[in-house]
Chains A and B, each alone.
Chain A
Amino acid sequence: MKIVSQFITSISNGENRLTDGQLSCSYQEIPQIFANIDRLFGNWGIEKEDCFALESENSVPSALVLLYLLERNYSIFLLPRTIESSGTIRQHLPRFCRYKLVCEANTQNGSLVDLRFPSSFINLAENERWFKEIHNNRQKLYLQTSGSTGKPKMVMHSHSQLQGNVINCVKRLNLQTDDRVAIPVPIYHMYGLGAAFLPSVAVGASIDLQKGANLLRYLQREQKFQPNVAFMTPIFCDTLLKGRKSNREYKFTVAAGDGIEVETFANYEARMGCLVKLYGSTEMGAIAAGSPDEPKEVRIQVVGKPMSGVKLRLSTGQIESAKAQQEMGELWCHHDYGFDGYVDENGQSIKNTNDRPDGWFQTKDLAKITTDGYLEVLGRCDLSVNRDGLLVFFSEVERAIRTIEGVDTVVVVSQGKSIRGKGIVAYCVGNKGHNLTEEKIRSACFDVLPKRAVPDYIFLIDSFPLLPNGKVDRLQLVAMSDEKVNTMNLVR
């Protein structure tokens, strides 16, 4: 996958760099670093068909090795960095990976590594579970799904398809060589990699890779790096709004992940400039995104138009039972640059025709498509239950409860049964200084929701359990609700 070499000679400004706050390198230095890695791989006896598990983090050494492996057409299984001593494999790696690569920013004596000497920052370990009889697929990228609603799956992409995705993001977001891009989202996930990092590299923009970003680190890096573009999650947008004291204008910020609230969007635009939504998945890459050129009134309502090569349709079969819900449906996506399929730990395709009948991918998201072709995503489709013979969507319940004074955030999960059908439980976090009680919230629910959608139980908690990618861990919430309901600490 030629992503670095295609433009490296055309960049007139030699000052554009990749940085992580500690280490940095200019684009002009990359070819020599790659040549040095070539020699190191030669010494190690690496073969073209070898597949690597790359433990990755938002650092320059990790980013360079990732770019190198893509550039030299190796197959890569990308996973987050784990904290362990180098050289040992404790993580359960798939059997098709021959090696694990871990990149260090510091030498053993604590000084920063020298990027000109790859042996100082790349650690290679053999995967003891590697099964050499496995025929390796070349030029593949393997990613794990987040597992927010189930067990994580291993997703296989072709480099060429990934490149199509990258070009789509460059065009839609109109990224430019003179942009300065802050990336506080992990580059081992499709959003951080396929929408943020690789498109920024593809135009030769300056990039600040931020590891373990929190409010304080982000503001510090912002002051030093002076970004004009940022890729964030809605939760981090919210954190920035709550924590930062002064306003700061960006050319644009991209937000992907769980839907961003209208109020947060408007507040963000007022304080930090243009906000663009991006919708996609580990399997499909970027499906739709807004454009910074679109007016705010459009960007606040919808995600944007589908990317090039994407076809969308809504399935309304199950939803037709509710008249009020007829204009929305479950979103299916056909993507020219989508994934090849799911694979098992031997790299073999897991054949399941339900996954993609006729190439159409079931996103399991509830959506609307406007007459102008804009996509609006309303929430998870499988996050719904049948009550009183009609579907109740958790996203609708969450939206209504958030309008109750004093409620900051709310997540609804299904638990047990009630007289209306499946039981629903709402977990709420109150605003600072609220005087809410669980009883008060439930009572207020009757004013903002139809009776069938009023949660059977309300629990006030201090904060939500989160997955490493920042999404709410709904499975843990379900476990919490089991525990809470069983202890009879109930509203009703």
Chain B
Amino acid sequence: MSEVVVNRLKQIIAQELDTNLTAEEINESASLFEDGLGLDSIATVELISLIEKHFEIEFSDSELNPEYFENLTILAEFVVNKQERQQIENVV
């Protein structure tokens, strides 16, 4: 499941963010920031908004934590967990 999300995140970054990267060039273990994909503040805000749109989740302020955005593998895990939590909450 996480792998599917990783690939979707790569597509989102390549196609919808102004990064000048192709999905193939994006390494899921690389940092999203200066020493990796080089996302700046504006691109980060945009990425958060795109993730919320594509995966139908909503971050809280405390979830906007650099640890969850360390790389795409960790981010994908967070997205999957968040989706699962939301599904349970909706059922309850």
Which residues of A line the B interface, CB within 8 A? Answer: 212-217, 219-220, 223, 235-236, 239, 242-246, 432, 462-463, 466
Contacts and interface: CB of A to CB of B under 8 A. Distances in A.
The 6 A-B residue pairs with the shortest CB-CB distance, nearest first, are: A462-B18, A214-B41, A243-B45, A216-B66, A239-B41, A245-B61
B59 to A, nearest CB: 7
B24 to A, nearest CB: 21
Contacts of A462: 18
28 contacts: A213-B41, A214-B44, A215-B44, A215-B45, A215-B64, A216-B44, A216-B64, A216-B66, A216-B69, A217-B66, A219-B61, A219-B64, A239-B41, A239-B45, A242-B45, A243-B41, A243-B44, A243-B45, A243-B64, A244-B61, A245-B58, A245-B60, A245-B64, A246-B61, A432-B49, A462-B18, A463-B43, A466-B40
Nearest to B60: A245
Interface of B: 18, 33-34, 39-46, 48-49, 58-62, 64-66, 69
B34 to A, nearest CB: 6
Contacts of A213: 41
Contacts of B64: 215-216, 219, 243-245
B40 A214 contact: yes
A219 B69 CA distance: 13
Q: Which of A215, A216, A244 has the most CB of B within 10 A?
A: A216
A366 B31 CA distance: 42
Contacts of A216: 44, 64-66, 69
Contacts of B18: 462-463
Contacts of A244: 61, 64
B61 A215 contact: no
Given A243-B48, A462-B18, A463-B18, A214 B33 contact: yes
Contacts of B58: 245
Nearest to A241: B45
A257 to B, nearest CB: 14
B6 to A, nearest CB: 19
Contacts of A220: 65-66
Q: Which of B41, B58, B61 has the most CB of A within 10 A?
A: B41
B42 A463 contact: yes
A245 B58 CA distance: 9
A217 B45 CA distance: 12
A463 B43 CA distance: 9
Nearest to B69: A216
Nearest to A470: B41
Nearest to A217: B66
A214 B38 CA distance: 12
A89 B73 CA distance: 38
Contacts of B43: 463
A426 to B, nearest CB: 18
A168 B66 CA distance: 36
B45 A212 contact: no
Contacts of B69: 216
Nearest to B32: A216
A160 B66 CA distance: 41
A117 to B, nearest CB: 28
B33 A212 contact: yes
